Amino acid sequence: MAPDMKTLLVVYHSMTGGTEQMVRALVAGTSAEGGVTTRLLHAPATGAADLLAADAYVFATPENLAAISGLMKDFFDRCYYPALDRISGRPYAALVCAGSDGHNAVRQLERIATGWRLRRIADAVIVCTRAQTADAILSPKTIAAADLDRCRELGATLAAGLALGAF
């Protein structure tokens, strides 16, 4: 990797495929920008060293019981203190795949990012699937093209901003 190459770390968890579709669209949006490497890591496989090695972050989670998923919480529990005061000022964004709302999951992500002193560079992208029954909640998700476009646009914005040194 070139010395001036920037790294965007995308940490995610997906249970029914919705969040994974969102992060893959986001990563596709970053691909047109030179000077940026995007690393897509599943939350259980991500450690503090991955955070320290990145220049910016996207945290992506399904909303489970009005909260971030348990495996995303585990990632933050394992990495919070080892990264504290070592990633201050770096930019971040968030993606949430929700059944009905998603805002509480975003609030949780924002509180963690505030503790790390990260800079939010875009509003969270929340995709609401309207899954309300047990069967619908547990079924594989298909994210609408317009929502995937929003994720791609966020990826392009992040990559361009990193490459230009805007954040």
Residue 1 lies in a domain: no
CA distance 38 to 26: 10
Taking only the tens place, the pLDDT of each residue in 23-73 is: 999 999 999 878 899 999 999 999 999 999 999 999 999 999 999 999 999
Beta carbons of 106 and 126 less than 8 angstroms apart: yes
Taking only the tens place, the pLDDT of each residue in 96-121 is: 999 989 999 999 999 999 999 999 99
Count of structural domains within the chain: 1
- Report pLDDT for 142: 96
Nearest in space to 20 (alpha carbons), one of 67, 56, 69, 83? 69
Residues 6+ away with beta carbon under 8 Å from 104: 63, 66, 67
CATH of the domain at 130: 3.40.50.360
| Tokens 């929003």, located at residue | 150
- Report pLDDT for 33: 76
pLDDT > 80? residue 2: no
What is the extent of the structural domain holding 32? Answer: 6-164
Average pLDDT over residues 127-138: 92
